[in-house]
Amino acid sequence: MSNGDSKTNENVHTDFKERMTYGEYLNLDRLLSSQNRLSEHHDEMLFIVIHQVSELWMKLILHELRAAIDLIREGEIQEALKMLSRVSKTQTQIIHAWDVLSTLTPAEYIQFRDDLGQASGFQSYQYRMVEFALGYKTPHVLKIYEKDPELHQELKNAYEAPGIYDAAIERLVEAGFKINPDLINRDYTTIYQSDATVEKAWEQVYKDVDKYWDLYQLAEKLVDIEDWFQQWRFRHMKTVERIIGHKTGTGGSSGVGYLKKVLDHRFFPELWDIRTTL
């Protein structure tokens, strides 16, 4: 090593007998020992890593969404906007993960698909909680998690809680807009349906941006999140179609057929409709 290199690195810590290391802080021993293949096939490692990485990103998305919902309900919209921006950026990372998984060919996947049994991404409880936070509530999925009472209760709580759009509508009410009273403290376990009073309120927000700047920014952040979520769903659908065609999913879903169907759902319908009426 040159003298220059020695001077550059002379303050680098190398004695960690009494100090926490990078690996210890991140629990890398546990994290990097969790990729346990059920087959001997080389490409199963790719399959496991992609799904684990996606779950980590979803953990961050949930962390940010939950905090943002609480802040919006408290009227702290500006603080929530930073968190929603982070959600959108994180969504782009999950979308790019499909590009990596799409390098798995049908001939490679069939070598270990049977080893998965009935395990399927359809059973991802974090994905369901992201859907719940965005207002898409489907009661039949709760049954999947009855095996774990603690997890089932956590999901049930999320299922019954108001989503981020409910929080946004509360802000519209607080701003003085006349909103359908049936939407206030509604049954949050039902999927939100478009409402004329909400559409009219958002239309006014977009017509008077200066007056309703916080609400306008919030609306655009919500559109970003839905846009990226639908792009994630589309890339998921096309990756599945590319690898298994129209076979039934390992979890029993209709696979590509199911994924195409959910693409039609809109989380925040009025925010899309006003783009036509403005």
Q: Does 177 appear as a known binding residue?
A: no
pLDDT for the residue 1: 45
Contacting residues for 158 by C-beta, under 8 A, at least 6 apart: 128, 129, 132, 133
Render pLDDT for 180-214 as a digit per residue (tens, 0 to 9): 999 998 999 999 999 999 999 999 999 999 999 99
Q: Does 49 appear as a known binding residue?
A: yes
Q: Does 51 appear as a known binding residue?
A: yes
Reported as a pLDDT band with limits 50, 70 and 90, residue 179 is very high
pLDDT of 252 > 90? The answer is no
Render pLDDT for 146-172 as a digit per residue (tens, 0 to 9): 989 999 999 999 999 999 999 999 999
pLDDT for the residue 260: 84
pLDDT of 39 > 90? The answer is yes
Distance (Å, whole) CA 165 – CA 135: 7
pTM above 0.85, yes or no: yes
Token output for 68:
């943002």
Q: Does 250 appear as a known binding residue?
A: yes
Reported as a pLDDT band with limits 50, 70 and 90, residue 34 is very high
Query: What does the pLDDT average to over 24-29?
Result: 95
Specify burial of residue 75 (Cβ count, 10 A radius: 0-12, 13-18, 19+).
middle
Q: Does 109 appear as a known binding residue?
A: yes
pLDDT for the residue 95: 94
Q: Does 69 appear as a known binding residue?
A: no
Query: What does the pLDDT average to over 124-142?
Result: 92
The ranges assigned to domains in the chain are 38-123+163-277
Q: Does 41 appear as a known binding residue?
A: no
Look at the domain 38-123+163-277 and name its fold: Methane Monooxygenase Hydroxylase; Chain G, domain 1 (1.20.58)
Residue 183: DSSP 8-state: G
pLDDT of 79 > 60? The answer is yes
Q: Does 48 appear as a known binding residue?
A: yes
Is the four-CA dihedral 25, 29, 30, 35 of positive or negative sign? positive
Distance (Å, whole) CA 77 – CA 146: 36
Query: What does the pLDDT average to over 223-246?
Result: 91
Contact 218, 168 (CB under 8 A): yes
Which segment of 27-41, 119-133, 241-255 scores lowest on mean pLDDT? 241-255
Q: Work out the mean pLDDT of the chain and round it to a whole number.
A: 91
Query: What does the pLDDT average to over 256-269?
Result: 86
